[in-house]
Amino acid sequence: MKRQLFTTALALLPFLPCLGQNLSSNDQEEAVHSTYPTQGFYIGIRATPQLSWMINKTDIDASGYKTLNRFGANFGLAGGYSFNDHIGAEVNVLYSLDGKRYKVSGKEYTQKVNYFKIPLLFVYTTQPATFMFLGKIGPQLNILSMAKVSPAITNGTTISDNKDQYETTVLGAVANAGARYAVIDNLWIDASIRYDISLTNVENKSYKYFPSGRSDTHNMTLGLEIGLNYLFK
């Protein structure tokens, strides 16, 4: 009996390295997946220091006019669902400090235009690991919150609060590209470059002092978005 066991053990020896390699490979795969939150619902917070512009061809072509950027930020909440290791969907509710700075005949003005922004995003991540590539893209609804120009402008009347010069809702698009870091199984940090642009005119053409023949104005922002996410398991 002992001799048979010894003979069987000797016969199995050549296969032990392969068996060990398979076990090690399975362990490594489980370790990789254990550091990445896969399928499920998650919530998060977002904050983005950003630069913003308001681009209008009529202004750019005007003599003595110079467009400048404005430094601002957006911040808010996120919620989403990861369908698998790579694909997900996410919605954000953000408050964004947009607008522009510009000069007319050497005098500088600041136009503040703040929005509630609601992007609906398609989310893609690369193979699960501690660090992954992250990409997001989708449409965005912008809801006007506030608009003020400083110093006040006289155009038939002296104007500081000029919310009525802008559309209440604007359709836009947003794209993100960056990286995701898995802190633990259900907590990860995102860092990505965020760009958004309005696809429809942000100015209200029904405003009584709206110049005839003026081209459309499009709002743009570019910033570094930082996100913290928690997955419900």
98 vs 186: CA distance, rounded Å: 33
14 vs 6: CA distance, rounded Å: 14
pLDDT < 70 regions, the chain: 1-38, 154-158
Which pLDDT score, from 0 to 100, does residue 129 have? 83
Q: For the chain, what are the domain ranges?
A: 41-231
In tens, the pLDDT along 190-213 reads 999 999 999 999 999 999 888 899
188 vs 30: CA distance, rounded Å: 18
CATH of region 41-231: 2.40.160.20
Which pLDDT score, from 0 to 100, does residue 159 have? 74
Q: Which residues contact 224 (CB under 8 A, 6 or more apart)?
A: 48, 49, 50, 191, 192, 193, 194
Which pLDDT score, from 0 to 100, does residue 36 have? 60
Rounded to 5°, the CA angle 206-211-215 comes to 90
Which pLDDT score, from 0 to 100, does residue 24 have? 45
In tens, the pLDDT along 36-54 reads 656 889 999 999 999 999 9
178 vs 125: CA distance, rounded Å: 10
